[in-house]
């Protein structure tokens, strides 16, 4: 049996469920205010639950603030049979939001490194990307953060990160030019200093 510690009541075999909606009232009201300012009625049927849905969605979109991407690189493997060539995770899909308009950034990233004496599980490279992407971002900073994190966490010979993304803030407002992709890259170590190595990794990525 379990008990309510506040009242002493018997609750049965199941502990009480957590509150269904722990969203602060000021967050809900802020979204209602935005809906009114946009010209709609937050009290109408289709919008009554929208503020809470939006709040929950943004908590998910920005989950990266509760994540330390570097922690995903702490477990490495040294038994790689003498492998000493490029490790590449190609075309990783991601979604972020721009910090200027809070509009979606949707794209793909290719992440490569040249190991020194150990490697990391390939899923961890994607986790590093998502940890930084699930924050308000600009693409240039996202590219640099991913590369710097891998450089510092794995101490490799080289790191290369290329991100290709579309920005809703450009497609749906302002200049209103859809279908335009933005490509950013960061090369570190041998991929920055050696032209042959840089060309090799870019060719593997498809650039």
Q: What is the pLDDT of residues 67-89, one digit of tens each?
A: 999 999 999 999 889 899 999 99
Mean pLDDT by 10 residues, the chain (207 residues): 40 47 91 98 97 97 97 94 94 98 97 96 97 98 98 98 96 88 98 98 97
Q: Is 99 a catalytic residue?
A: yes
Point out the catalytic residue in the list 72, 97, 130, 167. Answer: 167
Report the pLDDT value the prediction gives residue 38, as an integer from 0 to 100.
Answer: 97
Q: Is 100 a catalytic residue?
A: yes
Point out the catalytic residue in the list 98, 130, 149, 200. Answer: 98
Q: Collapsing DSSP states into helix, strand and coil, what is residue 164?
A: strand
Distances (CA, A) of 21 to 25, 62, 99, 153: 10, 18, 26, 38
Point out the catalytic residue in the list 72, 130, 137, 139. Answer: 139
Q: Is 130 a catalytic residue?
A: no
Are the CB atoms for 176 and 185 separated by under 8 Å? no
Q: Is 97 a catalytic residue?
A: no
Are the CB atoms for 118 and 154 separated by under 8 Å? yes
Distances (CA, A) of 65 to 59, 90, 134, 171, 184: 10, 25, 7, 26, 23
pTM, to two decimals: 0.87
Report the pLDDT value the prediction gives residue 19, as an integer from 0 to 100.
Answer: 54
Q: Is 149 a catalytic residue?
A: no
Point out the catalytic residue in the list 29, 95, 100, 152. Answer: 100
Q: Is 118 a catalytic residue?
A: no
């Amino acid at each position: 049996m379990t008990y309510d510690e506040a009242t002493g009541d018997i609750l049965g075999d199941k502990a009480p469920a957590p509150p269904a909606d722990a969203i602060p009232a000021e967050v809900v009201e802020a979204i209602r205010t935005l809906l009114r300012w946009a010209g709609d009625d937050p009290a109408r049927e289709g919008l009554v639950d929208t503020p809470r849905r939006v709040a929950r969605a943004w908590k998910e979109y920005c989950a990266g603030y509760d994540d330390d991407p570097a922690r995903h690189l702490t477990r490495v493997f040294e038994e790689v049979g003498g492998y000493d060539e490029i490790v590449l995770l190609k075309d990783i899909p991601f979604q972020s939001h721009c910090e200027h308009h809070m509009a979606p950034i949707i794209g793909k990233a290719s992440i490569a490194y040249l190991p020194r004496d150990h490697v990391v599980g390939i899923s961890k490279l994607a986790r590093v990307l998502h940890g930084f992407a699930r924050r308000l971002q600009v693409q240039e900073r996202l590219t640099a953060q991913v590369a710097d994190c891998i450089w510092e966490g794995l101490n490799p010979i080289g790191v290369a990160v290329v991100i290709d993304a579309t920005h809703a803030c450009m497609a749906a407002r302002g200049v209103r030019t859809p279908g335009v992709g933005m490509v950013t890259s960061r090369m570190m170590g041998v991929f920055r200093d050696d032209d042959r190595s840089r060309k090799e990794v870019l060719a593997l990525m498809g650039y």
